[in-house]
Chain A
Amino acid sequence: GQSLEQPSEVTAVEGAIVQINCTYQTSGFYGLSWYQQHDGGAPTFLSYNGLDGLEETGRFSSFLSRSDSYGYLLLQELQMKDSASYFCAALTGGGNKLTFGTGTQLKVEL
């Protein structure tokens, strides 16, 4: 079956850097996306890796290693508003289906 594993919870202080890991076991893998979700609201797209390596978008970066079936999301200069759930999601099924990970609850403290 398809599965993506993430830590359930991460806590960090404001201004710090945090890395959220994602390991996956999927078939028909196209790439790895990351989404942010505040309090059950609409998931917001953050980043996508179709190829191995690092993608940088402002304070957020995402990395993918296909050989290791592993990726991570890196958040820099943490702000209180970054407190949310973060989901990795594998794009599969011909590029039209997202399989979501278990989600990581990030708590940013002062």
Chain B
Amino acid sequence: NAGVMQNPRHLVRRRGQEARLRCSPMKGHSHVYWYRQLPEEGLKFMVYLQKENIIDESGMPKERFSAEFPKEGPSILRIQQVVRGDSAAYFCASSLIPEVTDTQYFGPGTRLTVL
């Protein structure tokens, strides 16, 4: 019974490069959420997706960040032209049906370091 999976667990990029973070939700879950956590802070909501749809992206920075959840394959959080301020832990969560359940299950996170 695999939980939420994220890869890579650690990612190092130089300024100006692209970062791609992947998330596979729990089996049977079709709702995916991305959160960002800076050191010593709480998690901040970024985006909520269902298969092939972005439902709520109110927490996404306006530039350089994008997310997708294709019909097949994992959800991808893409950061273009990374800057040092993008260094953080990025967590993905999934849930069954938000209107029915109240629980989001989190993956182990991807720690992004921008040099």
Interface residues, chain A, CB within 8 Å of chain B? 30-31, 33, 35, 40-45, 48, 50, 87, 89, 91, 93-103
Contacts and interface: CB of A to CB of B under 8 A. Distances in A.
Contacts of B12: none
25 contacts: A30-B102, A31-B102, A33-B102, A40-B37, A40-B89, A42-B4, A42-B106, A42-B109, A43-B43, A44-B106, A45-B105, A50-B102, A87-B42, A91-B102, A93-B56, A94-B56, A95-B98, A96-B33, A96-B55, A97-B58, A98-B35, A98-B93, A100-B42, A100-B44, A103-B42
B12 to A, nearest CB: 17
Interface in B83-103: 89, 91, 93, 95, 98-99, 102-103
B104 interface: yes
Determine the main DSSP class of B at the interface with A: strand
A43 B91 contact: yes
Residue with the greatest number of chain A CB neighbours at <10 A, chosen from B98, B99, B107? B98
Contact of B41 (A44, A45, A99, A103): A103
A101 B43 CA distance: 8
B48 A97 contact: yes
Contacts of A103: 41-42
